[in-house]
Amino acid sequence: MPRRLDHFVICVHDLAQAATDWQRLGFALTPTGVHPFGTSNRLAMFENNFFELLAVTDPAAVPPATSGHFSFAAHNRQFLESAEGMSMLVLHTTDAHGDAARFRESRIGAYAPFDFGRDAVLPGGATARVAFSLAFATDPAMPGLAFFTCQQRHPPELFWKPDYQRHPNGARRVTEVVMSAPEPMKHKTFLEQFAGGTAEPVSEGLTIGQGGDRITVLGQAGIARRLPGVDGGGSPRFCAARIAVGDLDATARILKSNDVAFAVTGAVLLVPPAAAHGVALEFVEQETH
């Protein structure tokens, strides 16, 4: 069974401004978390996955990438040299160290696993130490993007807080990530090895995963049909995330009240990338998964 979606790194220049903009989109955000390697984040947390708004906030603390060691912070700093947007896709794991070994054997990630911890601010204002292990994978055919699996090494209740999982826009979870690529099938083997599943062909591309945990890669024509107004040309990139909500009309009302532009086509409410720092958001009523 393919690994499930865990989180989505949205790389931004100004974390405070991005937080304000995402709150206008109707997301509740966690307090700022500070990493020991020069980046900071705020999370939009759902049932079992989350968006991570991330900025480089202490350039002097960013470690360089070295042979066999992927630098999370250096990757995102380099990403920001050309654009804001989704820079990394993360899948859930319970064994990041094992994943790192498997990625090495599959030749998609010759990187050591990365273990770290940080303080998380709890809803009442207290802090708790949370710890993670990451296993990185990269594809030379997708320059500028990175992938990893994430293992949480702390009691779940320290991280997953109901106070942080209730959103004015009704968001429940991210169910799909949409990528663009000139030749989608060129990335089939990498994505199968990373996600641990079999990719299936779709019109203009491929998809991998279950209905509620899906990665889809589309060519330019497929992106144009699915995401009107979104540029699907150029190098491979993450274009959109699909978000399940309880009541699409209620989501629309929140966006209208906050003067956020959107378009509704059939059962999909689409927020353009300009409103969400580089990634389009597809809101749909709760899907079965």
Per-residue pLDDT of the chain (289 residues; tens, 9 = 90+): 579 999 999 999 999 999 999 999 999 999 999 999 999 999 999 999 999 999 999 999 999 999 999 999 999 999 999 999 999 999 999 999 999 999 999 999 999 999 999 999 999 999 999 999 999 999 999 999 999 999 999 999 999 999 999 999 999 999 999 999 999 999 999 999 999 999 999 999 999 998 889 999 999 999 999 999 998 889 999 999 999 999 999 999 999 999 999 999 999 999 999 999 999 999 999 854 4
How far is the C-alpha of 175 from the C-alpha of 282, rounded, in Å?
10
For residue 262 the two structure tokens come to 């959107």
How far is the C-alpha of 18 from the C-alpha of 15, rounded, in Å?
5
How far is the C-alpha of 266 from the C-alpha of 261, rounded, in Å?
17
Beta-carbon contacts of residue 266 (< 8 Å; ≥ 6 apart): none
Which one of 133, 164, 195 terminates a domain?
164
Same domain, 174 and 114: no
Same domain, 270 and 179: yes
- Residue 242 pairs in a beta bridge with 176, 282
Same domain, 160 and 173: no
Same domain, 207 and 98: no
Same domain, 10 and 72: yes
Q: Are 147 and 88 in contact (CB under 8 A)?
A: yes
User: End-to-end CA distance of the chain, in Å?
Assistant: 14
Same domain, 228 and 97: no
The Cα-based distances of 141 to 32, 133, 146, 182 in angstroms read 34, 26, 11, 11
In the three-class reduction of DSSP (H, G, I as helix; E, B as strand; rest coil), residue 93 is classed as coil
Which one of 141, 164, 187 terminates a domain?
164
Burial class (CB in 10 A: 0-12, 13-18, 19+), 287: middle
- Residue 121 pairs in a beta bridge with 127
Same domain, 17 and 87: yes
pTM of the model: 0.96
- Residue 133 pairs in a beta bridge with 115, 151
Same domain, 201 and 136: no
Phi, psi of 222 (to 5 degrees): -65, -40
Edge-first strand listing for the sheet containing 237-245: 200-202, 205-210, 213-218, 171-180, 237-245, 280-285, 268-271, 263-265
Same domain, 29 and 155: yes
For residue 172 the two structure tokens come to 């429940």
232: containing domain = 169-285
How far is the C-alpha of 92 from the C-alpha of 101, rounded, in Å?
16
Q: Which pairs from 260-264 meet CB under 8 Å and 24+ separation?
A: 260/24, 260/25, 263/228, 263/229
What CATH code is carried by the domain that includes residue 140? 3.10.180.10
In the chain, the number of structural domains is 2
Same domain, 158 and 182: no
Same domain, 231 and 244: yes
Which one of 147, 164, 181 terminates a domain?
164
Same domain, 68 and 138: yes
